[in-house]
Chain A
Amino acid sequence: MAARCVLGSIWTSLSGVKSVASSSNMSVFQSITNYPQLSVFGIIQSRGIRQVVEKKEGKTTIIEGLTQDTPTGPQPPNPTAQCPIYRWNLQNKYNYTDVLLLSQFIRSDGGMLPRRVTGLCAQEHRKIAICVQMAHRAGLLPDHKPPLPEGHVPKKPKPQLNRYLTRWSIDSVKPIYRAGLKWCKNRISVGHPALRNNVQYGKKILYLKH
């Protein structure tokens, strides 16, 4: 895992000016931490959700990350694996509909968290990113939209169309003017080939070209 800087009592040793400069960044994040702004020697590794607490004592501002005691949840069935998906044996079992799973890897504005933070392996990170994209396009994550600037008026009202399993971005796709005959048809792609190995619980095969 990447080395993490712990926002603990180490920060109190820094001068007031430096912490004030970074406090404007840190005040945004209230509960999720570990965005190391400065390299500190004597790095202690620990895991847990931390609460950012600001204290002002005269001229010095102390910003502390206090580790919150989270109740220990159920243990993963495979604790020795590196990637969280492999730890919980969910390798080929998730889809764009599993919003409870996907929401653990996204930011509040809908973007993915970096791999070095979540600890996912490359392939699973890509698959989760693809599923998150499809979930956004299906409208399954309504609260994770990026904040629009104030006073933003949309020029043309976009048509509200329901969709699911959209592989490509809506504005980037061109219409298929000449589809061709049955034996050489220009097919429309559905889903994503990265999820080809997903477990199918019925007799139906996963069709990626419609």
Chain B
Amino acid sequence: MSSFTKSAQQWATFARSWYLIDARMQPPGKIATMCAIRLQGKHKPIYHALSDVGDHVVVMNSRHIAFSGNKWEQKMYSSHTQYPGGFKQVTATQLHLKDPKAIVKLAVYGMLPRNLSRRTMMQRLHLFPEDDLPEDILLNLTEELPQPREIPRRLNEYSQEEREAFPTLWTP
């Protein structure tokens, strides 16, 4: 914009922003894609893989993510301790109960490019199981991103007028 000084525009273009995502009732995969895009810097027109233009992303309420289907029981996370007989497989439920941040962390890790800058990008990802964020991170936040999935309303969240306005399909 012509009204800004050149230095101010330069600063606004190359500054590293802090984004906030609320993962309550959201599928962790969709949260992870949003995080991965912003950690790499692919949402910026000045993107270049070597330029380190990624932003910080803060994910809160990672304890309250929602998996579609029966993924809590069927999805397995595997690891190997590198000792013989050290192959471990854990279901998503067990992993989530052990560490509520692990599922989102592994999802984002798998979506970042497999190069050396992946570790620095993961350092810029901040995960919190609940919505109590520390003071210094709250001061840094610039934008909250919209949630990818529309949360359906429970039956008791509908008001009496809405319930009456809905026509009865059949009479006994």
Interface residues in chain A, defined as those with a beta carbon under 8 Å from any beta carbon in chain B: 32-34, 47-50, 70, 73-74, 76, 84-85, 87-88, 96-97, 99-101, 103-104, 117-119, 138-144, 159, 161-168, 170, 173-177, 179, 188-191, 210
- Name B's A-contacting residues (CB within 8 A): 25, 64-76, 89, 91, 93, 96-97, 152-156, 158, 162-163, 166-172
CB contacts (< 8 Å) of B167 on chain A: these are 73-74, 76, 88
Provide the residues of chain B in CB contact with A174, threshold 8 Å. Answer: 73-74
- Contact of B170 with A84 in the complex, beta carbons under 8 Å: yes
Can you list 7 pairs linking A and B with CB atoms under 8 Å apart? A49-B172, A85-B169, A99-B153, A163-B70, A170-B73, A190-B68, A191-B68
In the bound complex, what is the Cα–Cα distance between A155 and B72 (angstroms)? 21
**CB closest chain-B residue, reference A161:** B72
Q: Within the complex, which residue of B96, B154, B168, B171 is in contact with A139, where a contact is CB–CB below 8 Å? A: B154
Q: Are A99 and B155 also in contact (CB < 8 A) when A163-B66, A163-B67, A167-B69 are?
A: yes
**Nearest residue in A to B90 (C-beta to C-beta)?**
A175
Q: Are B153 and A163 in contact (CB under 8 A)?
A: no
Rounded to whole angstroms, the CA-CA distance of A94 and B4 in the bound complex is 52
Complex Cα distance, B68 from A162, in Å, reads: 9
Q: What's the dominant secondary structure at chain A's contact region?
A: loop
Q: Evaluate contact between B169 and A179: CB separation under 8 angstroms.
A: no
Which A-B residue pairs are the 10 nearest by beta carbons?
A162-B66, A190-B69, A97-B152, A84-B169, A173-B73, A84-B170, A100-B166, A47-B171, A173-B70, A99-B155
Minimum C-beta distance from A143 to chain B (A): 6
Question: Contact: A210 with B155, CB < 8 Å?
Answer: no
Q: How far is the CB of A184 from chain B (nearest CB, A)?
A: 16
**Could you say which residues of chain A place their CB within 8 Å of the CB of B74?**
173-176, 188
* A186, closest chain B residue (CB): B74
Q: Chain A residues with Cβ under 8 A from B69's Cβ?
A: 163, 165-167, 188-191, 210
B87 to nearest A CB, angstroms?
10
